[in-house]
Each structure stands twice: as structure tokens, then as C-alpha cells.
Structure 1
Amino acid sequence: MRPQQRNLMYLLGREVSEDMSVGYTSPTSNSSAAYEYPFYPGLDISCDLENIPAFASTFLPVLYSLLFVTGLVGNALVIWVLTVFKKVRAMTDVYLLNLAISDLLFVFSLPFLVQYSIMSQWTFGNVMCKIISSAYFIGFYSSTFFITIMSVDRYLAIVRSVYALQIRTTAHGVISSLALWGVAILASAPELIFFQETNDNNQSKCTPHYPDSNNGWKTFSNFEVNILGWLMPVGVLIFCYHSILKSLQKCHTQNKYKAMKLVFIVVIVFFFFWTPVNIVIFLDSLRNLYVIDDCQTSRRLDLAMELAEALSFIHCCLNPVIYAFVGEKFKKHLCEAFRKYTRFLLICKDCGAFNGHSLDKHSSLHTASSQSSFVGTVL
């Protein structure tokens, strides 16, 4: 069986083994010849996979193009404000800057995905095949890691405030960020090693080629995504934000409920956008292990992979909104940036709420100031 035609990001780039896999093609391919007719040993039938619905051939490239533009603009704004106006002076700023860089690395793969989807072949060479696939996974892991450590940072600042005074420094933020980037790069090493450009019926493909014939590496990679990219972060998020909510209930400020609502949004958004793709990845692992071996389920699983993956891409565009633009201090610096470099002051119509007099007046009250700072760690 020839190597399967696959979307570069299909199931985060996982290759189905030759002896039992379900054939798959990019959702943008309209040629039924692109599909294989694999043999299912357990069912003793041939599985004639149907084309993924035609709407995907136009819907996904348009969606990925929109996500690229919004993700690029949103995360670039965060980096611009943090480096030029706000400056990176605290651990939270370090994590927010690295999260924006991670998301940018993630979205930079989208133009290549759009081109690969439209043309149904890889035209950038073997080196770019390895670079783009690795960048995608490094961005995926690092983004998840920085969302997780930002939750830990908020937990320390609110629940363990005394201990936080010793470790919530810029230097510690830089060191921990470098460590997380190192883990993300190591976790993405299989993609750098196994992804390569191949020629299939005079068409170039960028696909992973694992050294074994029993799906060992593919299954390992799937479980690696499930554990490092979902299970561990979800556990940390639940613990941290549950503790934060308990502490916020004791706080008496006007922003209390706004902060609590933001906590719920962070957790719900992460669950909504990352749980579906991780469920599909887990089911794909079961297919690799022959637990799932019927044709109809495999057809549905192939389509579910495409839709769940498209859903997960949206999260990188929402991170600037969730972690930066809703913050009052960040909005202040963003408005100052637009006020200085543009004449479109309508963008900053609510900047008056952030004048120095109101901040000084608010800080004159010790109790109110400490509680505002307490809530401000979340916001």
C-alpha cells in the first residue's frame, strides 16, 4: 500500500500504519482516487472510504485563513504592547509574552496548511516539511504549557501570597519559561525526525514515516499529546482555579464577580476547544491497537479528526482576548499605544477610566487597594 495522502496537521500529523489503517486524504481533495481501500482483518471486508463532505474543501481553507489573520494580529498586538509600552517587569508579563509567541508559532503553520489543502501536495521541500511540522507541535505544546503555568502563577499570587513574594520574580519567570520551551522542543522531536517529503504518484506529500510496522511510535505520539497536551494541564487548571474561586469568595470588591467569571471562561474555553481533538486522538489510538476496526466508525473518525482539529485552532486566537485584552492594565497600555501611533481614538473610548488620578485615589485606601490587587491578579 502506498503512503496515505494526509493533511499536514491531520490528527496533529499522525500517520496510519500500512497493515491496518483506514485510508485518508485531505478534506480539500475532490478526487475519489485519493482514497485507499484498506483491508480489515477483523471484518474480512474492504473499506471503501467515502469522500469527506464537499463543503470542507472550501470551508477549511477559508477558516484557516481567517484564523491566521486574527491570530497574527491579536498575538502580535500582545507582543508589541508588552515589549514597547508595558515592558516585561513581572513574572505574569513573561508568561503572557511567551504565550503570545507560542500562539504565533502555532498560527504560522496555517498558511502552509491552506496551501497543502488546496493543492493536495507539498511544494516547499523536505526541510520546510520538517520545520513546519515541528513548529506546529512546538507551538501546540508550549501554548498549553504556558496556559498551565499562568494558572499556577495566579494560584500562587492569590492562594499562596506569602510564598509567592519569594518566587514570583522576573528572573524565575524567564528560567521557568526556558525550561518549558525545552520540554516543548523535546516533546516535538519525533515530528522533526519522522516527518519528511515523499513522492506519491508524482505528488509530493509531507507525512510522518515511523520506523516500526506495529504503530508503536504513532500510538506513543498520540498518548503523548493526550497526557502532556490535555490530561496534565486540565488537572492543574482544575486544582488552581478551584482554589482561586474559594479565595475570591472571601474578597469584597466590585470586580469580584468579574474575576470569577473570567476564571470560569478560562477553564470552559480550554475544555471546549481541546477536549474534542484529544478524544479523537485517543480513539485513533484505539484504532491503531485494533480495538476499533469497523469501516463505518473509521469513516466517522476521519471526519471527526478534521472538525475537531479545526475547532482547536480557534483557541490560539482567543488567548489574547482571554489573557490580555480583558485585563484593565493591559487595556490601558493598549489604548496608550493607539493614542500615540494613530488618530483613531474611538478604539480607546473607555481610556478615561484608567487615568492616574483615579488609580492614585484608589491606592490611598489600604484595604481596598490590597483587595483590588488581589482580584487584579486574575484580571
Structure 2
Amino acid sequence: MESTTPNDNYDYDDDNVTPAGLCTSDGENLLGAQLSTIYYFMFLFSLFGNGLVLVIIHRFEKLTTVTNILLLNLVVSSLMFMSSLPFVGVYKQLSNWIFGEVMCKIVGSVYYLGLYSSVLFLTLLTFDRHLAVVYSVGGSQVRNQSYALLSCAVVWLVSGLACIPKMILHTTFTHNSSNKTLCQEYPLNTPIDDKLRASGFYLQLFLFLLFPLIVIVYCYVRIAITVISSKIVTKFKTVRLIFVIVLLFFICWTPFNVVQLIPENLSCEEKKKRGYALEVTHDIAYIYFWISPIFYTFVGKKFQSYFRQLLVKRFPGLKKHISVSQVSRTSMSTKSTQKSIELS
């Protein structure tokens, strides 16, 4: 979670912080408070959209295929991340943390756990599509339920371990000039704190940005070569949805990561510009978790069919207006044992 208070130089005395400089972040804090009003809408929309995906998977699919298992975990990680937004919204609007120290650490940890796991699950989904398309024969032997469950366990373990520095550094403390409680990384420059911050920064840069980007680009280059050489249109359709989701993620998150790379030893005016950029790009990054359910539900033809079936069952009067092709769970499960599930 980002700071909503001045990024000044501080003197420390126990839990109290006193500003030592005149460069404040009041403008960017006000911008953050104004933008945070959309967090509640984003949370509710994400809750509905991701919940709909979970219902569709539960009602029409079985968790026996690699794609469904990975997609389920991706949805859970998105919901986990979005669950922190109402707390962040209240915090930004009040510029005061009112939920206590324990919740400060929990919300901060859930925030990063959802973010990190989402990145890795997107990478894993792309790699799985790469196996299914490029190594369609040999890959089917590797792509089984055990492989999927083990992969998911590794992703959650790595993401959880990566959150440890954030959990340690995130705490509550009082800003003396405003007498308000802050919930963020405690800005104390001790050797241990500096090492924790550095480890967190490099983990986020290399493990959760550069590494996924390299893997995803490589996988899609191989997929594109295979699809073009095979001239089979259906193979392209099987990877379209995941490609759109991955592309959307990096469009939303790359600007924020680029701004984070800008060093903080800047002049006061440059710090303010960096602060404004962080606020705007951070909120753009949230759009991914808000809008991704639309792609799950409305880009994939299978999900469209399932969604229509749900609507007709809930509102029978729509049957004459909505074309529904019945696809039973049993028949789909049988097909999925013969070939990888077509998400689109």
C-alpha cells in the first residue's frame, strides 16, 4: 500500500514522527483521496464479476483440468487483492488509519499476496498454454491434476514468502504534525529496515515483473510460431482469452512499476511530480482486477454460453430472447479428458 502522507525526511522518537523538511505531499494526498472514491465501486464490481466466474466454474466445470484449477486460483488471488481496497479507500480519504495495528499488517500482507500471486498465476497460465499448444502430445502427459496442484502450491508459497518483508515493515505510527495514525512501511533507516526494503524492491522488480514478462513473451512467441505453422484456427482460439488477460495486466501494471523505479533522492518539486504519477498509475493498476472478470465472462465463448444459461435459469422469461446452447458438465468433462479445455 502506498503512503498517503508527506514523504519528508523524519526524526524518530518511538512511535512519533516529526517532519524535518518543508516539502509536503498535500496535493498528491488530496488527489489520492479524490480518486479513492472509486475503490468501493471497483471492489463491488470485482466481487460480482469474480464471484460469477467462481459460480460458472462450480456449476458447469469440474476441477479436474489444469486450466480450471489455475483459473480458479487466479480468481481467488484477484478477490484477495480487491478485498484490501475498501480499507485503503477509507485510509486515503481520512489520511488516518482507524483499523488498528493488526489490521494494518493483515491488509498490507493481503494486498501484496494478492498482487504477487496474480502475477505468477498469469505466468503459469501462459506457460501451461505454451505446453498445451507447442507440445500438444508430450505436454498432455505432464499437464495433469497433480502438476496443477503442485504448481499452485509453489505459487502461493513463493508469494507468501515474498510478503514477509512487507509484513515486517508495515505498521502503524503517529505523525506528530497532524496527530494522525499512519499505516505504511515505517520510514526508519536502520540497516535491517534498509535490507528488507531493498529485498522487497528487487523481488517485486525481478521476480514479479521482469521474470514474468520474459516468460510470457517467450511463450507467446513459441505459441505464435506453432499456430502459424500449423494453420489451425482453433489453436489460436484456445489461447486468445489468456493472451487478452495477460496483455491487460501488463498494460495496467507496467506504468506503476516504471514510476517506482524513479529514485527518491529528488528535489521537492520532482518528488511532488513523482507522487502524483504514483497516485495515478497505482489507480490504473487497480483497473486490471476490476475489469478482468469482463474478459473471463464475455471474451470466452464457453463462459458466454454458461452465463446465458445462468440468466435463463434465474429469469425464465429471457429464454425467448437469449439463445442458449446446452452443454452439460458431464459432456464437457469427457471432452476435457481428450484435449485441453478451450477457454474461448
TM-score (norm 2): 0.83
Is the deviation greater in 206-215 or in 339-348? 339-348
**Is 1:203–2:176 an aligned residue pair?**
no
Residue identity opposite 1:108 in structure 2: S
Residue identity opposite 2:160 in structure 1: I
The match for 2:285 is 312
Measured after TM superposition, the shift of residue 348 of structure 1 is 8.1
The match for 2:250 is 271
| SS of match in other structure, 1:250 | helix
1:5-20 equivalences under 5 Å are: 9-10=1-2, 18=9
Which of residues 287, 293, 303 is equivalent to 1:330?
Answer: 303
Residues 272/206 of structure 1: CA separation in 2 closer, same or farther (3 Å cut): same
The match for 1:81 is 56
Q: Is the 8 A contact 1:109 1:132 kept in 2?
A: yes
Measured after TM superposition, the shift of residue 63 of structure 1 is 2.1
The match for 1:106 is 81
- Tell me, in whole angstroms, the C-alpha distance in 1 between the residues paired with 2:7 and 2:25: 14
- Tell me, in whole angstroms, the C-alpha distance in 2 between the residues paired with 1:87 and 1:194: 41
- Tell me, in whole angstroms, the C-alpha distance in 1 between the residues paired with 2:308 and 2:33: 40
- Tell me, in whole angstroms, the C-alpha distance in 1 between the residues paired with 2:128 and 2:236: 20
Following TM superposition, the consecutive aligned residue runs of length 4 or more in structure 1 with deviations greater than 6 angstroms are 13-17
Q: Is the 8 A contact 1:99 1:147 kept in 2?
A: yes
- Tell me, in whole angstroms, the C-alpha distance in 2 between the residues paired with 1:169 and 1:234: 25
**Is 1:294–2:271 an aligned residue pair?**
no
1:96-175 equivalences under 5 Å are: 96-175=71-150
In the alignment of these two chains, the number of paired residues is 329
Q: Is the 8 A contact 2:32 2:92 kept in 1?
A: no
Measured after TM superposition, the shift of residue 49 of structure 1 is 5.0
Residues 264/340 of structure 1: CA separation in 2 closer, same or farther (3 Å cut): closer
The match for 2:200 is 221
Residues 50/341 of structure 1: CA separation in 2 closer, same or farther (3 Å cut): closer
**Is 1:249–2:238 an aligned residue pair?**
no
Which of residues 185, 188, 191 is equivalent to 2:163?
Answer: 188
Residues 323/231 of structure 1: CA separation in 2 closer, same or farther (3 Å cut): farther
Q: Is the 8 A contact 1:103 1:316 kept in 2?
A: yes
Measured after TM superposition, the shift of residue 279 of structure 1 is 0.6
Measured after TM superposition, the shift of residue 262 of structure 1 is 4.8
Q: Is the 8 A contact 1:36 1:48 kept in 2?
A: no
Structure 1 segments unaligned to the other structure (5+ residues): 1-8, 21-33, 39-45, 364-369
- Tell me, in whole angstroms, the C-alpha distance in 1 between the residues paired with 2:117 and 2:255: 19
Residues 264/175 of structure 1: CA separation in 2 closer, same or farther (3 Å cut): closer
Residue identity opposite 1:204 in structure 2: T
Structure 2 segments unaligned to the other structure (5+ residues): 12-16
Q: Structure 1, residues 220-244: CA drift from partner, whole Å, max 9, x if none?
A: 3222211122111111110111111
**Is 1:230–2:222 an aligned residue pair?**
no
Measured after TM superposition, the shift of residue 211 of structure 1 is 6.2
| SS of match in other structure, 1:10 | coil
Q: Is the 8 A contact 2:5 2:95 kept in 1?
A: no
Measured after TM superposition, the shift of residue 253 of structure 1 is 5.2
Measured after TM superposition, the shift of residue 141 of structure 1 is 0.4
Q: Percent identity?
A: 28
**Is 1:239–2:239 an aligned residue pair?**
no
The match for 2:14 is none
Q: Is the 8 A contact 1:129 1:206 kept in 2?
A: yes
What's the C-alpha RMSD, in Å, of the aligned pairs?
A: 3.3
TM-score (norm 1): 0.76
Residue identity opposite 2:308 in structure 1: C
Is the deviation greater in 194-203 or in 229-238? 194-203
Residues 138/346 of structure 1: CA separation in 2 closer, same or farther (3 Å cut): farther
Is the deviation greater in 166-175 or in 313-322? 313-322
Q: Is the 8 A contact 1:85 1:337 kept in 2?
A: no
| SS of match in other structure, 1:351 | coil
Measured after TM superposition, the shift of residue 83 of structure 1 is 2.1
Measured after TM superposition, the shift of residue 259 of structure 1 is 5.8
- Tell me, in whole angstroms, the C-alpha distance in 1 between the residues paired with 2:183 and 2:307: 40
